[in-house]
Amino acid sequence: MNTRRDFLKSSALGTGALMLPSSLSQLFEAPVARQPPMRFIFMHKGNGLFPSVMVPPSLSAQDMEKENKKEAFEVDLDKHELPKWMSVLNAHKKDMTILQGLSGRMCTNGHHSWQSCLGVYAATERLASIKWATVDFELARLFPSPLEHIELACFPDGGGNARGNINGIEKGFSARGPQQPNYAFGSPKVAIDELFKSVSNNESGRVRYELERKLLEFTSGNQSGLSQDLIGLELAKVKNYADAMEDIRTRNRKLDAMGDIIGKNIPKLDKKYFADNISTIDRQLGHTEILLSALISGMTNVVTFTVDELGTPYTGVPGLETEKINLHDVGHGKSVGKLTAPEVREQLCHSHMTLIDTIVRRLKSVPEGKGTMFDNTMLCYFPDNGETHHSTGIEWPYLIMSGRNAKLNIAGRYIRLPYWGTEGHKTIGNWFTTILNAYGNPIKHFGDLDLGLNKLIADQTGPIKRFIG
């Protein structure tokens, strides 16, 4: 083990070090005195999301004509039916927004998008392509928590970020900063082992946690002492390492102080969720329970959840339990069992909606302040690569669930914004700028610009002003 990188990658402490915020003084400041923090959940999927499947089937002829021409308009969702695959969310229509018309041509489109859809830049598998922190991390810094941010993923078994290690801890789809990918938990088992080890009821888990604490204490002090004999770059490396060790110790002290509430919210999962051959559907369900436990216990205020990626091997799908679904083949129109490719897409998206229903219902059941936790929550569901399998990013549909304390004036509506290249068109960069501005980050514009829009639109920067307030 010759380098700090080797140590971090091989030790149980490495994951914690790589997932820590850069400034703990900022981390533990309350965002708003005596006010519950806002929580943000980013759920993204692979293989595109057709804009056409997001349209309420009960639109009037006049509105449907605008829809077909992709002209701007909006309607109240409580006056309309949801698409069949979204019907499980009927009880939440007043909290829902279907947002159409955004684009993301500055991102990496097509098969794999890496950090593109959350960073709004063209990303590749090369770390050098990561330009800045993704929007979820920017929000996590506005609403600090002991773990800052948690990422869960149903990794692909080939291509994409995981490179076949779908049950481990691998590079995720978010980024902490320039050239700094986040790391995501690939299975419910590894997520529980790492996130809840401080309150483990398992004796070996508690012993492991106590040993790690002792190792942290020794390593932090030892590396600080070594720094006296080093200069230049090596001194900076050791200092960063020692700081990271101390940051983990500080984080653990905060988690220890929260032991009672964390212990009460440990996910209670059946043994099937801990199997190495867990089905994709069970993996998603397990991750959903972990997501809820982490939010409800206060371990984090921001969770990013990759519900699937193009290379995710789909198993356990209701009605197709004996099939292993290849999303790439579905993207090219291949049927599975008795279902056509569009029907398979609808079945998978319906499954995602049941996860969202579980999240919304659970958060609505947890009292907080004068209401519930959901009042202070915003969830975004969207494709990681745009509108189709071989997408161009010309459209980027969004489904948003937001509680009554959300600072965006969008709930309960189907909104179609002006189409790409027309006056008033907005990108996902404008969308993320809107969210960040609304919650206290005054950034002028988040993300890269679409150079193709420069000659068509005078100014493509800034928030979507009518959404704020």
Mean pLDDT of 173-195: 93
Opening angle at CA 183, ends 361 and 449, nearest 5: 85
Element spanning 404, H or E: none
- With a cut of 50, say whether residue 282 has pLDDT above it: yes
**Helix/strand/coil (H/E/C) assignment for every residue in 277-302:** CCCHHHHHHHHHHHHHHHHHHCCCCE
Pairing of strands 73-76, 413-416: antiparallel
Query: What is the amino acid identity at position 256?
Result: D
- With a cut of 90, say whether residue 361 has pLDDT above it: yes
Mean pLDDT of 33-60: 94
Residue 259, pLDDT score? 66
Rounded to whole angstroms, how far apart are CA atoms 375 and 348?
A: 28
Pick from 47, 215, 57: nearest CA to 117? 47
Q: 299 with 336: CB under 8 angstroms?
A: no
pLDDT in tens, 323-350: 999 999 999 999 999 999 999 999 999 9
Q: Which fold has domain 37-190+282-467?
A: Alkaline Phosphatase, subunit A (3.40.720)
Residue 459, pLDDT score? 93
Average pLDDT taken over every residue of the chain = 85
What is the pTM for the complete model shown? 0.85
> How deeply is 177 buried, as exposed, middle or buried, from its count of CB atoms within 10 A (0-12, 13-18, 19+)?
middle
- With a cut of 80, say whether residue 206 has pLDDT above it: no
Q: In the chain, what are the domain boundaries? A: 1-30+197-265, 37-190+282-467
Rounded to whole angstroms, how far apart are CA atoms 116 and 124?
A: 8
Query: What is the amino acid identity at position 394?
Result: I
Torsion of CA 154, 159, 162, 166, to 10 degrees: 50
Q: What is the DSSP string of 230-292?
A: --HHHHHHHHHHHHHHHHHHHHHHHHHHTHHHHHHT-----GGGG-TT--HHHHHHHHHHHHH
Q: What is the DSSP string of 292-352?
A: HHHHHHTS-SEEEEE---TT-EE---TT-TT--EEHHHHHTT--BTTB-HHHHHHHHHHHH
Q: Which of 162-171, 301-310, 327-336 has the lowest mean pLDDT?
A: 162-171
Residue 265, pLDDT score? 75
Residue 266: band (very low, low, confident or very high) from pLDDT cuts 50, 70, 90: confident
Q: What are phi and psi of 11, to 5 degrees?
A: -95, 160
Rounded to whole angstroms, how far apart are CA atoms 65 and 419?
A: 14
How much of the chain exceeds pLDDT 70, in percent?
79
The three-state secondary structure class of 200 is: coil
